[in-house]
Every structure is written in structure tokens, then in C-alpha cells.
Amino acid sequence: MSGNPALIDTSIWIEYLKSPSSKVEEKVEGLLNSGQACVCEIILAELIQGAKSEKEIAAIEGFISVLPVLEQRQGYWTKAGQLAYKLKKRGITIHIVDCLLAVIANENHCAIYTHDKHFKTISKHYPLLLYTAS
């Protein structure tokens, strides 16, 4: 992945926020500093859902003011459903939210930075870039 913005998935944000000295922190900081990091509302919702306090919710909501938030345009849910259907016909079950994130990333020419192995599976059947930092 080079030059493309990176949609940072919930799994990465969780590690970034809980393990400030991890390799993930270094990679996320690099994306933030280079202006390549972005987020979408469903990821923010997942993070808020898992928050342990109002303070954590306030910090998560602060992402909106400092990161580009990718819009969820009309038709994205339909495309996500079509992707899930296509995968299911091949014997692959992927949660609809992961399909939606793949569509959002693809439509916005972003890579996904994630620990979720489902996205690697999706990328074999759908044009999806994965962020792999060395």
C-alpha cells in the first residue's frame, strides 16, 4: 500500500488506544502524521459501543474533528449486501458490517488497516486494498 488513505478498522483503534507502546501505535501515528488515516461512522459507532466510560466516548467522538470521516453514500448497503451474497454463494460467510467497510474503502479508494482476517478473504473476491506496513 502506498499513497492511498487508510481506513483504520475498529480492531486497530482498540489496540492503538489500549497499548500505547505497540507497533500498531507507530503505524497509526505514521498514518495520522502523513494525513493518510481516515475513519467512517460505523467504526466510530463500534468504538463507542465498546467504550468503558463517558471520557472514552468523548475521546472517540474527538476523532471526528481531527480525521477525515468517509461518507456512507446511498447504495453502499446494497453493494455490501451484494458482496455478502456473492461470498455466500462461494461458501464464505462474512458479517455484513465487514462487507460494508470493504465497500466504503473501495468506493473511497482507501486501503483497510485491520487485524480482522475476514478482509483478506474479501480481498480475494473483491477489489480491496489492505494496508500492510512493514
The DSSP result for 47-114, as a single string, is HHHT-SSHHHHHHHHHHHHHS-EE---TTHHHHHHHHHHHHHHTT----HHHHHHHHHHHHTT-EEE-
Q: What pLDDT is stored for residue 100 in this prediction? A: 97
Q: Rounded to whole angstroms, how far apart are CA atoms 93 and 57? A: 31
* Fold of the CATH domain 6-130: Rossmann fold (3.40.50)
pLDDT of residue 108: 95
pLDDT band of residue 72 (cuts 50, 70, 90) is: confident
pLDDT tens digits, one per residue of 76-120? 999 999 999 999 999 999 999 999 999 999 999 999 999 999 999
Domain ranges of the chain: 6-130
For position 133, what pLDDT does the model report? 58
User: How long is the chain?
Assistant: 134
